[in-house]
A and B are shown apart, each in its own frame.
Chain A
Amino acid sequence: MWKNLPLFPEQASSIAGQVDGLYFFLVAVSAFFTLLIFGLVFVFAVKYRHAVHLRAEQIEGSLPLELTWTLIPLGISMIFFAWGALIYFQQARPPRGAMEVYAVGKQWMWKFEHETGQREIDTLHVPVNRDVKMIMSSQDTIHSFYVPAFRIKADVLPGRFTSTWFHATKTGTYHLFCAEYCGTQHSGMIGEVIVMEPAAYQAWLANGGATGTMAANGQQLFTQLGCATCHRFDTQGRGPNLVGVFGKPVQLDDGRTVMADENYIRESILSPQAKIVAGFKPIMPTFQGQLTEESLGALVSYVKSLSQPQQKAAGGAPEPAATNQSN
């Protein structure tokens, strides 16, 4: 709209247009009801003012009217609800095959790590027209990852992974804000999301000094910390074989079945007693206090890689950690 007084941010993601559409519908309905009420109040106040309408007419009420103005707003509300929920379902479910970026929020900066190992601070480079899933955790307080141009926001929590996803549709540079108050420099915890053409993105990936893919780093940790001792790649281990585990249901010893997602892996490392896989003894020690958020992300990335025959081409990076199928 007007350049100097815009009313909404750029629509730079697949969901932005839909959110704006719902928003404008709500604006229209609200404007209608606001004008209706303002108008009625004004008209009644003038038409029935004491000077011209000396005596009030006592009207008890009207059941039909009450029902009407209860049921119509209820109906309209349900439309709002359903429409918003449908868009929300899309927002809440990252599509399969999305490119993954790990984010660690800390007072007062964003640390990003691409699966290919690229690290960035406060700036996030992503390719256009690609599904991108953010897997995020915080090193300290609650933060929130907010990109107005994409119309997405998700809190970033300590002690847990949260995620959000987007599909950027326009190249350009967009604001990234922290949207959950986190202390002194909360308003300084801002950055940029730079959406690039695929070729430019490849070039950028190639230029950055990667220190190995996340999954490769994860594999190193897996060995260093002794995980490989119990989590062997055969059925002889004291711990479950982790090949093919990620993304599938896991049967626990108390009969429950849970999905092996990022938070399940995280919890298994930090509070292993919380869920015991059926058929195994509760003997895994905890690694609470021994791992940074980045290390946890790397380990999660590694375990994920054990479920993928090949890494998706997140920019033509070399194969991640080789998975030892034999001992």
Chain B
Amino acid sequence: MATAVQTVERENYLNAGYGLKSWLLTVDHKRIAILYLISITAMFFVGGFFAMLIRLELLTPAGDLVSSDTYNKLFTMHGITMVFFFLIPSVPAVLGNFVIPLMVGAKDLAFPRLNLLSWYLYMIGATFALVSMISGGIDTGWTFYTPFSTTYSHTNVVGTALGIFIVGFSSIFTGLNFIVTIHRMRAPGLTWTRLPLFCWSNYAASLIMVLGTPVIAITLLLVALERLFHIGVFNPALGGDPLLFQHLFWFYSHPAVYIMILPGMGVISEIVTCFSRKRVFGYEFVALASIAIAVLGFLVWAHHMFVAGISVYAALVFSLLSYLVAIPSAVKVFNWTATLYKGSIRYNTPMLYAFGFIGLFTVGGLTGVFLASLAIDVHVTDTYFVVAHFHYVMVGGMVMAYMAGLHFWWPKITGRMYPEGWAKLSALLVFVGFNLTFFPQFVLGYMGMPRRYHAYPPEFQVLNVLSTAGASVLAVGYVLPMIYFVWSLRYGKLAGPNPWNAVGLEWMTPSPPPTHNFDETPVVTWEAYDYEHQPEEEVAVGH
């Protein structure tokens, strides 16, 4: 264990100015990333708190812990918090913000002040949403289906919708910033085909952010207008079409899931290469797969509506396209697996999370294939099968990728190593707890248990109890890193510029980096993941 407290001496972005103002008015992408880290971690635990109450309620078939209205608010707020205020910003706003300028050899993002604005928009949006949740809550489901959300719900729909509207612009501006940065601010010699895949993935996700988010903005705005002023285009009493809402909503919300997963996939590419000491297998294919996912992702939205009343022909088209969008993801999984072949593999925590990702994302992705099948979807849509599917890709996939990235770049961000033993334990707890929580839900769903049910028939109880048990293990797995990351800030072993001996521009500056990132603009003369020419050194395993 650490003995004397070690401190970082030289000037870096963390000690380049003290006081609240230097943080709240910063334009340094690294500080903004830290601001995001704190905010989204807080929102993660808010969402997790709601999840805990949900799982506790579902221990028994009767609705006996909270009232029906409260339960409906719980799952709604869990979804909204996790999707809009945690998953969508997580990797881009924290890791992307911090690492992308470093990875491309730039001083900062293209529009640093816009970056700060993005964070403020996030905070304002989160405030609206939290205030709405505390002062009455919202019970429409995160999907806001009309006419329930426009006409029948008695909760704070407008306040919450406004919060999401605002945080949407945070997302749009971040995406805009990334696209312009990657296009225009790469260091000399850093061609597109030498870009780390983390940049490719974030680029693809940013395209979706920029093109898709405005659609949900206008959709929620219309919902708010209908509630406030009766300007109702979704109101069936006026001849409005509730299905129009669903089309507009899912036109964004399906690509949104790719906003969530693509940056995570980018993290995995970085980690698998570093801890196999190898170039990624099929670099061009992985890069193009990211773009393919982004493009195809815009073409499949109505697979959320197979039983909603769309025509048979529409259903066929969207089913076919949904199969197509699965292929690039499969290609990526195969490429990562092939990267391991004849590598020199180390089991550091980031790599353990990456292994977990590959396995769990595979399961989650395959169950998406079930849902793309029309006949099966008719039976399992709106049941726990769907809940299990998206938690596998979002939590087993995305959150694990986020944890992987956090551990991987922690030394760069803070200059400290986290404690490896505790970190490995947490990774294991997360993996075990996660599977125990969500695998039973596949069975529950096929058995017919619908989602968003406060009370359920008794025959579903055993599986629900298993699920809740798993959730308690999972919770521990998430709380531990909170504790040891904070601990590491003061007592963690000092990390040098490149504790993992990784290839990449971000590892060629000190840890933590100086405010201006590089003393001299680097010139890139090597291919991505050039591990062949990386001199061998001991990879840090610090406690």
Docked CA distance A23–B69 (Å): 35
Kindly list chain B residues whose C-beta atoms are within 8 Å of the C-beta of A81: 319-320, 323, 372-373
Closest to B306 in A: A88
Kindly list chain B residues whose C-beta atoms are within 8 Å of the C-beta of A80: 323, 369, 372-373
Closest to B339 in A: A59
- In the complex, the answer to whether B242 meets A158 with C-beta atoms within 8 Å is yes
Query: Of B107-115, B171-179, B187-195, B342-350, which stretch is located at the interface?
Result: B342-350
Q: A77-B369, A84-B374 are in contact. Are A185 and B326 (CB under 8 A)?
A: no
Tell me the minimal C-beta distance from B419 to chain A in angstroms.
21
Chain B interface mostly: helix
- In the complex, the answer to whether B331 meets A69 with C-beta atoms within 8 Å is yes
Kindly list chain B residues whose C-beta atoms are within 8 Å of the C-beta of A44: 337, 340-341, 343, 345
Partner pick for A19 among B236, B243, B376, B457, CB 8 A cutoff:
B376
Partner pick for B282 among A18, A66, A88, CB 8 A cutoff:
A66
- In the complex, the answer to whether A37 meets B342 with C-beta atoms within 8 Å is no
Q: Does B307 contact A (CB under 8 A)?
A: yes
Partner pick for B338 among A65, A162, A180, A188, CB 8 A cutoff:
A65
Kindly list chain A residues whose C-beta atoms are within 8 Å of the C-beta of B338: 59, 65
Kindly list chain B residues whose C-beta atoms are within 8 Å of the C-beta of A85: 316, 319, 374-375
Closest to A182 in B: B148
Closest to B446 in A: A8
Q: Does B239 contact A (CB under 8 A)?
A: yes
Partner pick for A181 among B141, B281, B327, CB 8 A cutoff:
B141
Kindly list chain A residues whose C-beta atoms are within 8 Å of the C-beta of B283: 60-61
Docked CA distance A61–B287 (Å): 13
Q: A48-B344, A65-B338, A89-B312 are in contact. Are A4 and B282 (CB under 8 A)?
A: no
Identify which of A58, A151, A175 gathers the most chain B CB atoms within 10 Å of its CB: A58
Partner pick for A187 among B277, B381, B453, CB 8 A cutoff:
B453
Q: Does A198 contact B (CB under 8 A)?
A: no
Q: A45-B340, A141-B152, A160-B309 are in contact. Are A184 and B69 (CB under 8 A)?
A: yes
Docked CA distance A80–B359 (Å): 22
Kindly list chain A residues whose C-beta atoms are within 8 Å of the C-beta of B337: 37, 40-41, 44
- Residues 316-337 of chain B, each 1 if its beta carbon lies under 8 Å from chain A, else 0: 1001100110110011011101
- Residues 51-68 of chain A, each 1 if its beta carbon lies under 8 Å from chain B, else 0: 001111111111001100
- In the complex, the answer to whether A84 meets B319 with C-beta atoms within 8 Å is yes
Kindly list chain B residues whose C-beta atoms are within 8 Å of the C-beta of A49: 344-347
Query: Of A26-34, A95-103, A205-213, which stretch is located at the interface?
Result: A26-34
- In the complex, the answer to whether A271 meets B366 with C-beta atoms within 8 Å is no
Partner pick for B375 among A19, A60, A107, CB 8 A cutoff:
A19
Q: A9-B448, A30-B366 are in contact. Are A73 and B382 (CB under 8 A)?
A: no
Tell me the minimal C-beta distance from B70 to chain A in angstroms.
10
Q: Does A148 contact B (CB under 8 A)?
A: yes
Kindly list chain A residues whose C-beta atoms are within 8 Å of the C-beta of B372: 80-81, 84
Kindly list chain B residues whose C-beta atoms are within 8 Å of the C-beta of A70: 327, 330-331
Q: Does A6 contact B (CB under 8 A)?
A: yes
- In the complex, the answer to whether A148 meets B323 with C-beta atoms within 8 Å is no
Q: A40-B337, A53-B345, A81-B372 are in contact. Are A181 and B145 (CB under 8 A)?
A: yes
Q: Does A91 contact B (CB under 8 A)?
A: yes
Docked CA distance A29–B451 (Å): 26
- In the complex, the answer to whether B281 meets A180 with C-beta atoms within 8 Å is no
Closest to B534 in A: A56
- In the complex, the answer to whether A183 meets B72 with C-beta atoms within 8 Å is yes
- In the complex, the answer to whether B345 meets A50 with C-beta atoms within 8 Å is yes
Identify which of B151, B241, B312 gathers the most chain A CB atoms within 10 Å of its CB: B312
- In the complex, the answer to whether A144 meets B281 with C-beta atoms within 8 Å is no
Within 8 A of A (CB), among B191-240: 236-237, 239-240
Docked CA distance A180–B308 (Å): 9
- In the complex, the answer to whether B457 meets A61 with C-beta atoms within 8 Å is no
- In the complex, the answer to whether A148 meets B447 with C-beta atoms within 8 Å is yes
Tell me the minimal C-beta distance from A214 to chain B in angstroms.
23
Known contacts A8-B447, A84-B319, then 6 further A-B pairs from the complex at CB < 8 Å, ordered by chain A residue: A19-B379, A30-B366, A34-B363, A70-B330, A77-B323, A157-B243
- Please provide the 10 A-B residue pairs with the shortest distance between their CB atoms, ordered closest to farther: A148-B448, A159-B236, A84-B373, A87-B375, A88-B374, A61-B282, A44-B340, A187-B453, A77-B323, A56-B277
Chosen A-B contacts, 26 in total, with CB atoms closer than 8 Å, are: A5-B462, A37-B359, A37-B362, A44-B343, A44-B345, A48-B340, A49-B347, A50-B345, A58-B279, A58-B531, A58-B532, A60-B282, A61-B283, A61-B284, A65-B338, A66-B285, A73-B326, A73-B330, A80-B323, A80-B372, A81-B372, A84-B374, A88-B378, A89-B312, A142-B242, A181-B72
